[in-house]
Amino acid sequence: MKIALGVTGGIAAYKAAEIARRLQDRNIRVQVIMTDSAQEFVRPLTFAALTGEKVITEMFSQRDSNSTLDSSVEHISVAQAIDALLVAPATAATLARFAHGLSEDFLSTLYLATTAPVVVAPAMNVNMWRHAATQANLETLRARGVTIVEPSQGYLACGMVGEGRLADTDEIVEALLARIVQSEDLKGENVLISAGPTYEPIDPVRFLGNRSSGKMGYALAEAALRRGARVTLVSGPTALTPPAVEEFVRVETCAQMREALLARFGRASVTIMSAAVSDFSPANVAGQKIKREAAMHLDLQPTADILAELGSGRAPGQLLIGFAAETQNAAENARGKLKRKHLDAIIVNDVSRPGIGFGSERNAGQIITADEVTEIPEMSKLEMAGCILDAVVKLRAGRQTPKVNA
Ligand code: CTP
């Protein structure tokens, strides 16, 4: 996968470096193109060092002695080689050139020459953003199928406050990933995913739950769908809207989740257990609301370990992935769970780290298999889902997909 990243002149140009790095984390090659004004803010060397690729800064550059490219048609070669064109930040001038088809520099020429999807993330002064000319240009681009990642509100470099700040890196990266024609490398797989917390009732109004939001599991379902899999999502209580999966099953307790998963496990070629299943449930559920009279003692009993049960009953070729939420000795504890529960991979989250994990949009961790450990730097949950599915594809290589009755 290769994309062109157009960087145009604005104070937010430096943020494009983070975007380039994040795309590379997803194994996407990045060809940076800088306009003249972008080079007033950031030096091409920054991007060359980050991407390991020559940065294109002019329309007709000297022919590179190592390159077989004839620079006079370089824009055509780049146009044909890329899977998408992302422009971040995109100035009002660049949007105008795109909208009016003016091939005045390499970037605007590339825009005309490529048939790949285009994503632009504008950043500018609030009045320039609101100007009828800019809005009309955006309308034209939208009508042509260009994805616009709208700027956010806030304090702008010009001293004004309003919309015009470059959107969050996460939002830009996700908008791009959504437009890239993804390989259908999970086609033929039946992926069963569990997500969210479980609620174990104490009495008719109270329950024992946990902080899981379900976002990681839903992101996995979304990412697996985009890669051609048939997806079943079994979810504990969450506030999320499920993606367009083949089957969506809503459950509440560990016992219900176990039943729903065991009933579908036989048909699954890949199972990913991302639910935060309660480890305990009240030994007795009160039929009536427990009154606030004296100190209350709850007798808890351990719940069934669903993942371990799936692990001991799996058929050859069925892949099984678990999660481990740890607050200490993360990798070591996770390795124990990998063996004990007969898993192919375990995703370790250090849930004590602030800003990631439970409830957050972002996550980080490690993917541990019998053969390797892959570090996942902090990224959005949808991107992390992509990394986990990359690992699934790798595990599948050399192991035949089981015949399942879909
Ligand atoms: N899991 C499960 N059933 C349970 C508890 C956990 O299937 N009753 C699954 C989780 O979905 C996760 C994996 O087991 O994929 C690890 O969960 P975690 O809570 O980290 O580990 P436990 O095995 O419960 O061990 P401990 O809580 O002692 O660390």
| Residue pLDDT, tens place only, 5-25 | 999 999 999 999 999 999 998
Q: Three-state SS for 105?
A: coil
Over the stretch 242-277, which tens digit does the pLDDT of each residue have? 988 999 999 999 999 999 999 999 999 999 999 999
Q: Residue 346 phi/psi, 5° resolution?
A: -135, 140
Which ligand 1 atom is the nearest neighbour of the CA of 334?
A: 20
DSSP state of 159: S
40 has pLDDT over 60: yes
Give ranges for CATH 3.40.50.1950 in the chain. 2-180
Q: Which of 1, 50, 96, 158 is catalytic?
A: 158
Over the stretch 49-104, which tens digit does the pLDDT of each residue have? 999 999 999 887 655 545 545 555 777 888 888 999 999 999 999 999 999 999 99
User: How many angstroms separate the CA atoms of 216 and 195, rounded?
Assistant: 7
Give ranges for CATH 3.40.50.10300 in the chain. 190-398
112 has pLDDT over 70: yes
Q: Are 91 and 124 within 8 A, CB to CB? A: yes
- pLDDT at residue 64 in the model: 52
> What's the 4 CA to ligand 1 centre distance in angstroms?
42
CA-based R_g, the chain, Å: 25
29 has pLDDT over 60: yes
> What's the 324 CA to ligand 1 centre distance in angstroms?
7
Q: Are 57 and 92 within 8 A, CB to CB? A: no
295 has pLDDT over 80: yes
- pLDDT at residue 159 in the model: 82
**Taking the CB of residue 240, how many other CB atoms lie within 10 A of it?**
15
Which ligand 1 atom is the nearest neighbour of the CA of 340?
A: 23
The overall average pLDDT reported for the chain is 91
Q: Which residues pair with 320 in a beta bridge?
A: 271
Which residue CA neighbors atom 20 of ligand 1 most closely? 324
Which residue CA neighbors atom 21 of ligand 1 most closely? 324
Over the stretch 177-204, which tens digit does the pLDDT of each residue have? 888 866 789 999 999 999 999 999 999 9
- pLDDT at residue 335 in the model: 94
Task: Taking residues 164-172, report their average pLDDT.
Answer: 94
Residues with CB under 6 A from ligand 1: 254, 273, 275, 277, 279, 303, 305-307, 322-325, 337
- pLDDT at residue 178 in the model: 83
Which ligand 1 atom is the nearest neighbour of the CA of 306?
A: 7
326 has pLDDT over 90: no
More reliable by pLDDT, 193 or 159: 193
CA-based nearest residue to 15, from 117, 150, 167, 225:
167
> What's the 35 CA to ligand 1 centre distance in angstroms?
51
Task: Taking residues 310-326, report their average pLDDT.
Answer: 94
Which CATH number is associated with domain 2-180?
3.40.50.1950
DSSP H helices, 246-380, are 254-265, 306-312, 330-340
42 has pLDDT over 80: yes
CATH of 190-398, one of 3.30.470.10, 3.40.50.1000, 3.40.50.10300, 3.30.70.20: 3.40.50.10300
Active site residue 158: yes
Which ligand 1 atom is the nearest neighbour of the CA of 302?
A: 8
Structure tokens at 375: 């570090």
Which residue CA neighbors atom 17 of ligand 1 most closely? 324
404 has pLDDT over 70: no
